[in-house]
Every structure is written in structure tokens, then in C-alpha cells.
Amino acid sequence: MQPKWLAKSATAIVLVALMATETVNPVPAYAGVPGVFATEFTQLLNYIELVGQLEQQALMVENQLAQIANQVKHGLTIPNQLFGTVAADITNLNQIVNTGQSLSYTMGNLDGAFRLRFPGYSSSINYGQSYQTWSQTSLDSTRGALNTAGLQNSQFNSDEALLETLKGQSESAVGRMQAIEVGNQIAENQSEQLMKLRQLMMADMQSKASYQGALVQAEATKQANSDLFFGQTQVTSDGVSF
């Protein structure tokens, strides 16, 4: 709609109608009667004022229509909004890290399980069997962390496709509402990526903690067995044992 199109159209219609009226019904000439011309001049002024009023009303209507069209434009929503599946992804990750004899961060009694697996300085009747338990715990924890990384790597294609779709929605957004909705989707996707990053960090900590626990426990048990067999020795400040 061009500016003032409606107002100009209304003005033109009224002027044409006035001219046609004056042509069909011409005012009779009265010689020597100036009052008649004054009356006709007053009517003409009234017509002009009426045209101005109509033009203003037409402008008001045009502005209202433009406002309504603008409101409709900015109120349009995105029909198919895209949100990730972080809940299902995290459930899969929790299942993957809890593999074999691993010490998973998803365990309900993680502290108790760690103390039971790695009791610290204590002798062992069957050191070989105990060492197998410690090493298997470390290996399973590491395997769970690697599987977690593998699962997230397999999700890169879908994540990239989602970002491309959001980019397209951002470039083609019409009005404020669609722009806001695209921003909400992007923010939600960022939150999901941060949650997945936390999962990777926890899986990495799980692997490192299990490995360190196995190393420390192996040394502690060897020392406890040695002390139990040979008896504990005390070393003085000069390095002489007694």
C-alpha cells in the first residue's frame, strides 16, 4: 500500500462528485444579486472543508490498517520449532558409562562402592585376584568414558543439521515473534550442548579416578602384605632401620 493512497483516492472521488453535481445542476445567473454568489462561495468552502475532513479520516483508516498489518506480521510464529533430545541422550550416556565393573558417577552409592573396591592400606590373602579386580575396574571405567565420547561423536551429524535449520530460520524470520522463537531455540540448543559437555567431563573424571585408585591401591596392598610378612620397620632420621 503506497503512502496516503487511500486518502488521495477518497479526495479525488469527492471532487469528481462535486464537479459532476455542479455540471448537472448549474446555478442560475441573477444579475445584480451578489448574495447568490456569496452563498455559492460559502458552499464551495464547506465542500473543501468536508473534503479535508474526509482526507484526514481516510489517513486515519490507512494508518490503522498499517498498524494491524504490522501487528499481524510481528505476531507470526514458527510452525515447527526444533528442540533437541537431551533427555534421551543423557539417559543413553548414563547407561553407557555404567559398564562392567566400572565405578560410574551414576551409581547411587558411589562413595561406598569406591571404598569397597579401594580400601586403602590393607593386606590381601590373594593379591593376584585383588589386582585383577582393581585393573578391571580401571579398564571398565575407561571403556565407559570412551563409549561416551563415541556416542557424542555419532551425534555430530544430527547436531550440525539442527544448527543449519536454525540458521535458515534465523535468516528467514518474519517479525519479532519469529526472531524471538529462533533465539529461544538457539539458547535451548546451547544449554543441551553444555549438559553433554558436563557428561563428557564427568566420564573423564570417572576414568582418571578409577585409574589412580587402582595404582594407589596396588601399592598400598603390596606394602601392607610386605609389612605383614616381614613386620613393620621403623626408619630413623639417619636412614637406619631397626
pLDDT at res. 24: 45
pLDDT at res. 86: 65
Residues of the chain with confidence (pLDDT) below 50: 1-3, 6-7, 18, 22-27, 29-33, 235, 242
Q: Which three cell numbers stand for residue 163?
A: 544448527
For residue 225, CA distances in Å to 102, 120, 173, 222, 229 come to 26, 12, 72, 5, 6
**Could you tell me if residue 27 is left (phi over 0), alpha (psi between -120 and 50 degrees) or otherwise beta?**
beta
Residues composing the chain: 242
pLDDT at res. 181: 78
Find the DSSP H helices in the chain.
Answer: 5-24, 34-74, 86-97, 110-117, 127-154, 156-171, 175-230
pLDDT at res. 232: 67
CB atoms within 10 A of CB 213: 19
Query: CA 235, 215, 125: angle at the middle one, nearest 5?
Result: 75
pLDDT at res. 215: 93
Instruction: Identify which of 199, 103, 105 has the alpha carbon closest to the alpha carbon of residue 151.
Output: 199
The four Cα atoms 178, 180, 183, 184 give a dihedral, to 10 degrees, of -100
- Burial of residue 96 (number of CB atoms within 10 Å: 0-12, 13-18, 19+): buried
- Give per-residue pLDDT as tens, 186-233: 777 888 888 888 888 888 888 898 999 999 999 999 888 888 888 766
For residue 2, CA distances in Å to 20, 59, 66, 210 come to 28, 12, 11, 73
Find the DSSP H helices in 118-174.
Answer: 127-154, 156-171
pLDDT at res. 112: 87
Distance CA 23, CA 183 (A): 64
- Give per-residue pLDDT as tens, 125-134: 898 898 999 9
pLDDT at res. 214: 92
